[in-house]
Amino acid sequence: MLLGFAVWVVGWFLASAVGALVAWKILEAQRRLEPMGGIQPPGMNLTDLTPEDLTTIQKWIARNPWYSGDVALQLEAQSIHVRLLRERQDLTMRDNLTRVTSEMARRHPDEVRLLH
């Protein structure tokens, strides 16, 4: 009986620690995004993307494992991408994502490594 309770306490502690870590990551991402104005551009949705854009995005994600591996970095990269969409409408999707990668590597050199 005591062993069962001890297992429950350890399980509860681990679940609480994981939950706290996830909550901290979300709050950290929100803190980083606040000065950037969020990530949803007005009037922009997935139907605005061409098949070429979608292919470019898929390849970019595959070449940048940090993007899928860290929610805070992902949200920060998305905010840079969206800011570029607003400010530099002349950029192709590929050029936009190249600039996102460069900026993320500048901000987070240990997490984001440029592949040449």
Q: Rounded CA gap, 74 and 100, in Å?
A: 11
Residue 116 resides in a domain: no
Q: Give percent of the chain above pLDDT 70.
A: 57
Closest CA to 96 of 108, 85, 111, 109: 85
Domain that holds residue 69: 2-107
Model confidence over 2-20: pLDDT tens digits? 556 555 555 555 555 555 5
Specify if 115 maps to a domain.
Answer: no
**pTM of the prediction?**
0.60
Neighbours of 91 (CB within 10 A): 14
Residue 116 has pLDDT above 50, yes or no: no
Burial of 42 (0-12, 13-18, 19+ CB in 10 A): exposed
Domains: count for the chain: 1
